Amino acid sequence: MTSLESTPQAVDGEAGAAVKQIPPAAVARLTLYLRALNTMLAEGIERVSSESLAEASGVNSATLRKDLSHVGSYGTRGVGYEVQYLSRHISAALGLTRDWKVAIVGAGNLGKALARYGGFGSRGFDVVAIFDADQMVVGNEVGWLRVSDAADLEPVLHRTGANMVVLALPAAVAQSVCDRVIAAGVRSILSFAPVMLQVPEGVNLRKVDMATELQILAYHAQRAQLPDETA
């Protein structure tokens, strides 16, 4: 299994040439820098120092400069970074200059919320299909999409050109649907299913477990309420 959380991923440059692998932790931080840069672009800011960009992203400037070295150094001492230029290069390193078409399997509350989320389009992701097995749901409109029958998964994935799939499914059916998605040729999967999925080598699987994240938050909240052990 290829896990985006444990294996450095090769990315493509703006012209399509392969560049060196970027450590997963740095990839995660690059998304933070890109969000901050895009906010600055919207505010009309043309240049930013490493210190200001680091502060806006919640990291220190040394970490930021090291991370940006993976995509090339675009800063000028005493001048800083050109916001639009750096944003474009980080987008290319993350693969966001490509055409990503997303299909959502599961038209429950989570799947419908994801399908209606307007932020995907502005970040380079086009939601092209949503599926469900419940015949009472099939044919309903979710946003601008019409819910397709999960029985037609493979032909709809091929017709829409979907190259990413989001699984918003119960644990009991997640593995079988995941297998069908992979057999249909999709190699990038984001799973919200509360189960560990098995995928073959070459398939990138990213798991989002909200219950686990809440448990981690509970741990830190509890620690914050404990008396200071160093006092």
Rg (CA), the chain: 20
Q: State the burial class of residue 112 (Cβ atoms within 10 Å of its Cβ: 0-12, 13-18, 19+).
A: buried
Sheet holding 75-76, edge to edge: 47-48, 80-82, 75-76
* Closest among 119, 89, 82, 88 to 102, alpha carbons compared: 119
Chain-centroid distance of CA 101 in Å reads: 13
pLDDT string in tens for the chain (231-residue length): 443 333 333 334 433 334 468 888 999 999 999 999 999 999 999 999 999 999 999 999 999 999 998 888 666 776 789 999 999 989 988 888 788 999 999 999 999 999 999 888 877 899 999 999 999 999 999 989 999 999 999 999 999 999 999 999 999 999 999 999 999 999 999 999 999 999 999 999 999 988 888 888 898 898 888 776 554
Measured distance CA(84)–CA(37) in Å, rounded: 8
The pTM of this model reads 0.73
**Distances, alpha carbon 104 to alpha carbons 40, 122, 178, in Å:** 31, 18, 12
If 0-12 CB within 10 Å is exposed, 13-18 middle and 19+ buried, where does residue 24 land?
A: middle
